[in-house]
Structure 1
Amino acid sequence: MKRKIFNWIEGGRNPLIIFGLIFISWFVILLGAWPGVYAYDAAWQYGMLTGDAPFTTHHPVIHTLWLGNCIRLGETVLGSANAGMLIYSLSQMIICASGLTYILCRVLRHDSPRKYIIFVVALAWIMLFPLNGVMAVCSIKDSVFAVLFPIVVLELGEFLQNTDRYLKSKRWILLISATFLSIIFRNNMRYAFAATGASILLISLLKKKTIVKNILYVFAAPLLLMIIYEKTLYPAFGITPGSEVEKWCVPIQQVAAVYNYSEIEGNEKLSESELNDLFAYASEEIWKAYVPECSNHVKDYFSFSAGKKRFVLLWARLLYKYPQQYIEAFVNLTENYWNPFIVQESKHISFLQFKCFEPVTFEPVLAGMYRYLYSLCNDRTYLKLPVIRLLFNNGGYLWGAVLNCD
């Protein structure tokens, strides 16, 4: 019976079945969070579109336009911002469910003897882990990227394993498209993709492989599309570059960590010259606001008004004097991404946001589901569950993926 069920799912009708199961499970979440979670940077992004804030590339432009125009459509045509948020939630659910359906179909087509187990566990996790549904109806920019990224990884792996066969199958179109979309949905993806391409190209050159030209094409195409996208879309909407500070969050955190360490009695103090350089970029109050696990408290008020060169020289001098503090600052900032034994909790910032900014308001259809989701996200009830709490840890997923690679 079990074999017949899987043969039927695998026989070609699986995409709609899988998509339907995922969409329905998330729709139940939507009923508790109706019309969707309008939180994180949503209000700021909408302000960019309405002219209340400068329209910059601080947030992915494609997401700002998509989200903002949904809300605007709701307010101007459908009578309420809630209607616009519902359109956004449903469209994002469709996109994310479609991407995950593709990934699960790929699992079923894999040669691994564990493919059915992996498929069942993955589908159950996608459907039943509540935060998947919450993120699917949330205005955060990471939801679509979180689906695109594994597709890029899967397709890139197939491309490198058998380049000629992959290119003949025309799936290179999917690889380039998914990569381009992941770049425009997440600003720092362009750097990760460029670094990955350079590394793969270098390895291929060292091994004298004949696929170097194909690698150049596949990696250059998304970056070329990105340039065309920026050169055409940005001028059309009057979009200006965002702050470059976002790229510097790790060095800024390291310098902030050193400053706060030096202020502790008994530790080596910064020199007057170093303090002058430090305060040229942010006030003493800002540097003291340093929070080890979150860069926003310093980064958001940091300015390169004194020039990048001066800051780089300061960073290098402090690295020589305080290498341990630099390492600790990096570990504290990134630990949740690789340490499976911690759950990120901070009194300074809410990592899970289940709320709505104006002009959107919650109108839950299922009151019980709303109370459950509110408690889960805002009261952090998961921290009270010894095993379940591990599901909220990024490091657990990282090592799970690493240890289960074929």
Structure 2
Amino acid sequence: MKSELGKRKKNNPDQILAWLMSGLFGVLSGIFLVIGYQLEKIDRIDLTDKNAMMVMVAIMAVLTVDTMHVWKNYNQSFEGKKLFGLMKLNKADYQSATDEKIFGTKEFLTTWGIIVLLNLPVLLAVFPGFFVYDAQDELNEVLTRSFTTHHPLLHVLLLGGMIALIHKVTGSWNAGIFSYIFLQMLVITAVFAYVLVYMSKRGIGKRSRILWTLYYGLFPTIVMYTLCSSKDGLFTAFLLLLIVLLTQLVNDKEGFLKSKGKCAAFVIAAILMPCFRHNGFYAYLVFLPFALIYFRKELKKKLVFLLVIPVIAYLVISKVLALSMGAQGKDNQEMLTVPIMQLSRVYTYDREDLSAEDIKILTAYLPEDNLKMYTPRVSDLVKVGFNNEYYEKDKGGFWKLWAKELARHPMAYVNAWLLTSYGYWYPPALINVYKGTTVFTFTYDESSYFGYEVESPGTRTSFIPVIDKLYRFLSIGSFHKDAPVLALLFSPGMLFLIYLFVILYRLSRKDFKGIIPFMPLVLVWLTVLLGPTYLVRYVVILWTAFPVLMNTGRTGNFGPV
């Protein structure tokens, strides 16, 4: 009797934590669904809508209880039962598996080859590949030898250098574009193969291996960025590799540190990840103290070096590249996207509240022609005119005006920010931020889910038109309207809610081994909330890391979520 009572007391704090985490999931989900709906339909939050607020409270209550019920079922699966046919490994199995090589093995090469073969029909269908998202600008930097720090220089040099070289040899721009994208595809699919073989060695079943192989090779969102020239594909691949290596590190620190190959791979992934997207550096920098705190009881010089050296190396590489290329530019507007949009919204909807002096100050930083081009969901047309030179001379004037209008128009500020980011957390959000914008080969109308086109000097030459039409339909067509339920699989907001569900569940169980590896991903997601708009390209990692999330079980071994 006493034993049973003691057990109940011991479990009580765990139950309280579980309810707190399920409650947090219910509250956040209710806010995201109702507020997201309002932003989608009326371009603002309406807290005076009593019906909407009642619905939000109801969603919070239902999801809190339902989430707790589902988590209890998960807990039962950890009492020795299997879930989804997956298995758990004991510590000895894990450590022996950690020592096994992956790259170069027959299983790795076979898996890699299969994913490449699955991608090739799409590459031929959209030949020479998706040359889009600043691709022309990056190529021109190389051709004109006029470099800026706006785009990551490593990506500029790789993309522009290879295309220019192949064009010089063959006289074909398409050949150059195809060569670059094919090489990029090999790198990205190699990372996918590594992930799959690693998962296989951790205990996922044959059917799961087949499922996830097909997922990496066929799921359109992943394939789009595997075959796209944008920096997002390589950035995502190295971030994914970092996540898997962190999973190995937290589960077997001693074995990991003894492996020179794994240590080298970790450092390389942690350096290259931010080299392809600047926000990756800020995410890793914030992640670093969390990692050091997590390992605080068993910190060794080698581990500290392993975690810190990527920061130093990235800063050195960035500086050397900028100096050697003579790169120019100070793009403050990239960091100031949110305050720029907030002031622009006040100017657009509450201009009568601005004094002549306020307008004079504002237009010194943002020309009136750009302010008049304000659109709620994308900042490009406004921020492009930002006066960086004047801002460098008088930063205080900008922030003084910003603070003044914050006090006077707080809801305008909230709406301005959320309208450029709600697509990341509201599942049914329509990703059509470029509607009406004319690019090289078409005008965005139904959707701007993916860029799809081939920018000049490349030209689309499809060898498999039926697949080309499918990707056009998914990218800029009416797919989201024709199949709204299926479209949720393509929604960053839907993926985010799944990640939130899993991570809060692991928090409820104090399973930090299952959380630490995903912290860089979470921090990258947080950085994009401060970005210019909501686009899939910035959060492709949600799809590529999904198999790892769903197959990482208790204590980090592969098994139930």
> Which TM-score bucket, shorter chain as reference?
0.7 to 0.9
Aligned partner of 2:319 among 231, 239, 256: 231
1:348 to partner: Cα distance: 4.8
Aligned partner of 2:277 among 170, 173, 186: 186
1:110 to partner: Cα distance: 2.9
Q: Following the alignment from structure 1 to structure 2, what is the Cα–Cα distance between the partners of residues 219 and 276?
A: 48
User: Does the aligned pair in 1 maintain the 2:449–2:474 contact within 8 Å?
Assistant: no
> Equivalent residues in 2 for 1:264-275 (5 A)?
269-275=353-359
Q: Which position in structure 1 is the counterpart of 2:493?
A: 395
- Number of matched pairs: 388
1:204 to partner: Cα distance: 4.8
User: Does the aligned pair in 2 maintain the 1:142–1:185 contact within 8 Å?
Assistant: yes
Q: Following the alignment from structure 2 to structure 1, what is the Cα–Cα distance between the partners of residues 107 and 284?
A: 31
1:166 to partner: Cα distance: 2.4
In percent, how many aligned pairs have the same letter?
27
Higher relative contact order (CA 8 A, sep 6+): 2
CA change 1:274–1:22 in 2 (3 A) is same
CA change 1:117–1:270 in 2 (3 A) is farther
Q: Which position in structure 1 is the counterpart of 2:119?
A: 26
1:290 to partner: Cα distance: 1.9
Aligned partner of 1:147 among 237, 246, 256: 237
CA RMSD of aligned residues (A): 2.6
Q: Following the alignment from structure 2 to structure 1, what is the Cα–Cα distance between the partners of residues 109 and 500?
A: 30
**1:283 aligned to 2:283?**
no
Aligned partner of 2:472 among 360, 368, 374: 374
**1:124 aligned to 2:214?**
yes
Kindly provide the amino acid, as one letter, of the partner of residue 249 in structure 1.
T
CA change 1:121–1:323 in 2 (3 A) is farther
Q: Which position in structure 2 is the counterpart of 1:318?
A: 405
Q: Following the alignment from structure 1 to structure 2, what is the Cα–Cα distance between the partners of residues 212 and 152?
A: 20
CA change 1:374–1:212 in 2 (3 A) is same
Q: Secondary structure at the match of 1:280?
A: helix
User: Does the aligned pair in 2 maintain the 1:204–1:212 contact within 8 Å?
Assistant: no
Aligned partner of 2:432 among 317, 329, 345: 345
1:22 to partner: Cα distance: 1.0
User: Does the aligned pair in 2 maintain the 1:136–1:143 contact within 8 Å?
Assistant: yes
Kindly provide the amino acid, as one letter, of the partner of residue 234 in structure 2.
V
Kindly provide the amino acid, as one letter, of the partner of residue 30 in structure 1.
L
Q: Following the alignment from structure 1 to structure 2, what is the Cα–Cα distance between the partners of residues 169 and 402?
A: 33
Q: Following the alignment from structure 1 to structure 2, what is the Cα–Cα distance between the partners of residues 204 and 24?
A: 41
Q: Following the alignment from structure 1 to structure 2, what is the Cα–Cα distance between the partners of residues 376 and 72?
A: 31
Kindly provide the amino acid, as one letter, of the partner of residue 390 in structure 1.
L
**1:360 aligned to 2:458?**
yes
**1:331 aligned to 2:435?**
no
CA change 1:86–1:308 in 2 (3 A) is same
Task: Structure 2 unaligned segments of length 5 or more: list them.
Answer: 1-84, 87-101, 438-447, 503-548, 554-561
User: Does the aligned pair in 2 maintain the 1:343–1:390 contact within 8 Å?
Assistant: no
Q: Following the alignment from structure 1 to structure 2, what is the Cα–Cα distance between the partners of residues 116 and 343?
A: 36
Q: Secondary structure at the match of 1:154?
A: helix
Kindly provide the amino acid, as one letter, of the partner of residue 379 in structure 2.
S
1:115 to partner: Cα distance: 6.0
CA change 1:282–1:393 in 2 (3 A) is same
User: Does the aligned pair in 1 maintain the 2:124–2:463 contact within 8 Å?
Assistant: yes
**1:218 aligned to 2:306?**
yes
Aligned partner of 1:55 among 147, 155, 162: 147
CA change 1:109–1:323 in 2 (3 A) is farther
TM-score for the superposition, normalised by structure 1: 0.87
Q: Following the alignment from structure 2 to structure 1, what is the Cα–Cα distance between the partners of residues 419 and 206?
A: 38
CA change 1:315–1:162 in 2 (3 A) is farther
1:210 to partner: Cα distance: 4.0
Q: Which position in structure 2 is the counterpart of 1:96?
A: 188
**1:66 aligned to 2:153?**
no
Q: Secondary structure at the match of 2:457?
A: coil
Q: Following the alignment from structure 2 to structure 1, what is the Cα–Cα distance between the partners of residues 365 and 345?
A: 15
Q: Deviations over 1:33-92 (max 9, x none)?
A: 11112222011111111117x311111111111111222122211121111111112101
Aligned partner of 1:86 among 178, 182, 205: 178
Q: Following the alignment from structure 1 to structure 2, what is the Cα–Cα distance between the partners of residues 116 and 92?
A: 28
Aligned partner of 1:255 among 343, 352, 358: 343
Q: Secondary structure at the match of 1:224?
A: helix
CA change 1:242–1:356 in 2 (3 A) is farther
TM-score for the superposition, normalised by structure 2: 0.64
Q: Following the alignment from structure 1 to structure 2, what is the Cα–Cα distance between the partners of residues 361 and 122?
A: 33
Q: Report the more deviating stretch, 319-328 or 16-25.
A: 319-328
Q: Deviations over 1:159-210 (max 9, x none)?
A: 3444333222332221111010001011121111111113444x459xx634
Task: Structure 1 unaligned segments of length 5 or more: list them.
Answer: 4-9
Q: Which position in structure 1 is the counterpart of 2:255?
A: 165
Q: Following the alignment from structure 1 to structure 2, what is the Cα–Cα distance between the partners of residues 312 and 353?
A: 35
Q: Report the more deviating stretch, 84-93 or 337-346.
A: 337-346
Higher Rg: 2
Q: Following the alignment from structure 1 to structure 2, what is the Cα–Cα distance between the partners of residues 48 and 105?
A: 39
Q: Which position in structure 2 is the counterpart of 1:7?
A: none
CA change 1:348–1:98 in 2 (3 A) is same
1:329 to partner: Cα distance: 2.0
Q: Secondary structure at the match of 2:427?
A: coil
1:340 to partner: Cα distance: 1.9
Q: Which position in structure 2 is the counterpart of 1:240?
A: 328
